[in-house]
Amino acid sequence: MRQVERVENPLPAGLRLPIGNPALTETGVGVACPSGLSTIGGGLLSGAGGGLGVTLNSSFPITGGWEGDENNATGNPANITAYVLCAN
Amino acid sequence: MHQQAKILGLGFVLVGMVATGATTANAAEATTTVAKPAGYTIVTATFDLPTGGQTAGFVACPIKKGVRTVPLSGGALIDTGSLQANINTSYPTSGGWEVFANNASSAASTFIVYAVCVTKPAGYLQQQSKAVANPADTQNGAGYTCPKGDQLTGGGAESSSRSTLVNLNSSWPSGTSFWYVYMNNSSSAPATMTLYHVCAKLNVSKIHYQLVSGSR
C-alpha cells in the first residue's frame, strides 16, 4: 500500500522520463547536467508499479550528473527516473 | 540480474583523505574546465557491508582555507547486484553526509558514501521535518519545501528503524524547491521517517541553476 502524507507538485510536468525495470531485476539509470554545469544534487524516483519490493540500491553524484540503481524484487515491472540539480 | 554497470561515467581525480572510520576515503574533483561553485568537491568514503544487517557510513566535507566546507547533497553506491541490498537512510549532517545501508543478502559487500561539498553559500540552510509516520507493511510518501525564494540543492531521509526491511523507494528533487521521499516499511513494526533538505539563496541572475531528469 502506498500512502501519501503530503503531495506538492510531486511530478513536475515534462520532467519525467522513466526507463523500465523488469521484475526481479536491478536496473541502473543516470542523467547528465547540461554542458558547463556541475552536479550539486540529485536523486531517483521509482515510478509505476513501485511497491514495497522496489527499493533504491544506490543513488549518488558523479562528475556532471547523477546515477543510481533500482532493485525490483517484485513479480511486476517497475520503472525508474534519475534527477540532477546542476549549477556553476 | 544487474542490468547496467555501476558508475556509468565516473571520471574523478583522487586527491585526498577526508573521512574517518572508512576502509578508504577520497576527495574527487572534476578534471574538465567546467565552472564549479566555490570550494566544490565530491568526496567519498568506502565501508564494509556485512551480511544480515544495517551498517552506517559517513563522509566529511573537507576543510578548505581553514574552514570546513558544507554538503549540498549526497548519496550512496552499494557494490552488489543483490536485490536484498538497499539504502535505509541518506541525509545531510552539518559537516558531511550520513548513510545507513541494508544488506539482507547472504553475501558481504561494500558501499560508498558520497557528498557534494562547497564553500558555504549565501543563505545556506539545512532543515529537518517533524517525524512522519511510516506504518508497518506500508510505503509512505512525504515532501519538504525550501523557504520561499531559496533554491534546493539536495535532500534525503532518516528512518527510525534499523530493520533491513525498511528502505528508501524514492528520494529526489521534485522541482527546484521541493524534496520528496517514499519510504518502504515491510517490517511488522511501525517506524517514522524524518525528511531533510538543503537550500541556499543562489544568485540565479548571475549563475546557471537547473533541474534535469531522464535516463540513459
CB contact under 8 A, A57 and B80: yes
In a domain, A27, yes or no: yes
Tell me the three cell numbers of residue B4.
547496467
Mean confidence (pLDDT) of chain A: 84
In a domain, A13, yes or no: no
Tell me the three cell numbers of residue A18.
522513466
The answer to whether A58 faces chain B, any CB pair under 8 Å, is yes
CB contact under 8 A, B139 and A1: yes
Task: Give which of A86, A81, A68, A30 is closest to B30, Cα–Cα.
Answer: A86
CB B60 within 8 A of CB B18: yes
In a domain, A30, yes or no: yes
Does the model's pTM come out above 0.80? Answer: yes
Measured over all CA atoms, what is the biggest interatomic distance in chain B, rounded to whole angstroms? Answer: 52
Which residues are B59's β-sheet partners? Answer: B97
In a domain, A37, yes or no: yes
Distance of CA A65 to the CA centre of its chain: 13
pLDDT tens column, B74-113? 999 999 999 999 999 999 999 999 999 999 999 999 999 9
The answer to whether A30 faces chain B, any CB pair under 8 Å, is yes
Cα gap B186→B96, rounded to integer Å: 29
Q: Is B143 helix (H, G, I), strand (E, B) or coil?
A: strand
State the residue range of the domain holding B81: 12-200
The answer to whether B175 faces chain A, any CB pair under 8 Å, is yes
In a domain, B4, yes or no: no
Q: How distant is the Cα of A77 from the closest Cα of chain B, in angstroms?
A: 14
CB contact under 8 A, A63 and B153: no
Q: How distant is the Cα of B215 from the closest Cα of chain A, in angstroms?
A: 5
**Angular region, A64: left φ>0, alpha ψ -120 to 50, beta rest:** left
pLDDT tens column, A43-53? 999 986 578 99
Q: What is the pLDDT of residue B179?
A: 97
In a domain, A9, yes or no: no
The structural domain count of chain A equals 1
Considering only residues B112 and B203, tell me which one the structure prediction assigns the higher pLDDT.
B112
The structural domain count of chain B equals 1
State the residue range of the domain holding A61: 21-87
CB B87 within 8 A of CB A56: yes
What are the residues whose beta carbons fall under 8 Å from the beta carbon of A17, sequence distance 6 or more?
A81, B213, B214, B215
Q: How distant is the Cα of B148 from the closest Cα of chain A, in angstroms?
A: 14
